[in-house]
Amino acid sequence: MAGCAMNKAICLLSAVVLATLSACSGQGSSGDQPPLAGARIGAPFTLTDQDGRKTSWDSFKGQYRLVYFGYTYCPDICPVDLQKIAQAFIRFEKQDPVRAAKVQPIFITVDPERDTVPVVKNYVRAFHPRLIGLTGTAEDIGKVARDFAVIASKEGAGKDYLVAHSRTPYLFGPDGAPIALIPVGEGPDGTADAILKTLDTWVK
């Protein structure tokens, strides 16, 4: 369970943070109100995409944003999560290509030390042609993680260190406001089904 479960304290804190966000924003409420309506998740940023271009949060203005935080050296969790995200997104593209075109999937590294532009480019293209990968300086990534309620901690020493981190994908609306959390770890097909259901519910 590299990436999160290696550090139980971080995982527990992450769960508390996400539960608090859900409770404060009406997670599970009925009606047309998004589960994360009013939650303080997200903020303006400028990072670098996999092609070396400066990319800001406002670069995606007018688009829904499916955002996942992880790192390319993650041995098992991140690639499985991203594969499920890609599978769900492909299914959504086939189901409703018009609405799918309004959604931008985004991967943001929590390991900028190793996740350089070329590394991120090679990584994201393995999952989906529309997946954008973002990296930046340690300072920039640290601020983005805090602003997006993501917890990350370096584990171990040397070049083979791991990064314990929270890993729940977020869906944001065209205005950049958070819409919903998408649970992971629900079995082989659970995450893809949950992502597809969330997209089908909230992408208009």
Query: What residues are designated binding site for Cu cation?
Result: 74, 78, 165
For residues 164 and 140, the answer to whether their CB atoms sit within 8 Å is: no
For residues 124 and 133, the answer to whether their CB atoms sit within 8 Å is: yes
Annotated binding site: 74, 78, 165
What is the SS3 assignment for 2? Answer: coil
- When computed from its CA atoms, the radius of gyration of the chain, rounded to whole angstroms, is 16
Can you say how many angstroms the Cα of residue 40 is from the centroid of all Cα atoms in its chain? 16
Residues 6+ apart with CB under 8 A from 31: none
What is the SS3 assignment for 169? Answer: coil
For residue 111, which of 52, 66, 149, 71 has the smallest C-alpha distance?
Answer: 71
CA distance 27 to 181: 9
Residues 6+ apart with CB under 8 A from 98: none
CA distance 10 to 12: 5
Angle at which helices 190-202 and 77-95 pack, to 10 degrees? Answer: 40
